[in-house]
Amino acid sequence: ASVFAIEDCRAIELSAADLLRLFERDAEQFALIQMNIGREVCRRLRATDERLHQVTMGEQQSGLETLFLDA
């Protein structure tokens, strides 16, 4: 994966090995992280679907250039 930021921020990397170690040490915390990652992916997918629908239905004049700005 890659990261693109529109302002200064900090990013952390969680590798598959990191997640496996967390699962082995604290399955409950692992589950919370996985649920939050899944929730955020779903939120972004819903927002992108809505924007795409608006663009294809002609409701958004600015077109595809704004499709991913707030994702």
Question: What local confidence, expressed as pLDDT, does residue 21 receive?
Answer: 97
Q: How far is CA 64 from CA 13, 46, 59, 68, in A?
A: 29, 16, 12, 8
pLDDT in tens, 51-67: 998 888 876 555 555 66
pTM: predicted TM-score of the whole model, two decimal places: 0.62
Q: Which is nearest to 13 in space by CA: 23, 4, 3?
A: 3
Question: What local confidence, expressed as pLDDT, does residue 54 receive?
Answer: 86
Query: What parts of the chain have a pLDDT lower than 70?
Result: 59-71
Question: What local confidence, expressed as pLDDT, does residue 12 receive?
Answer: 87
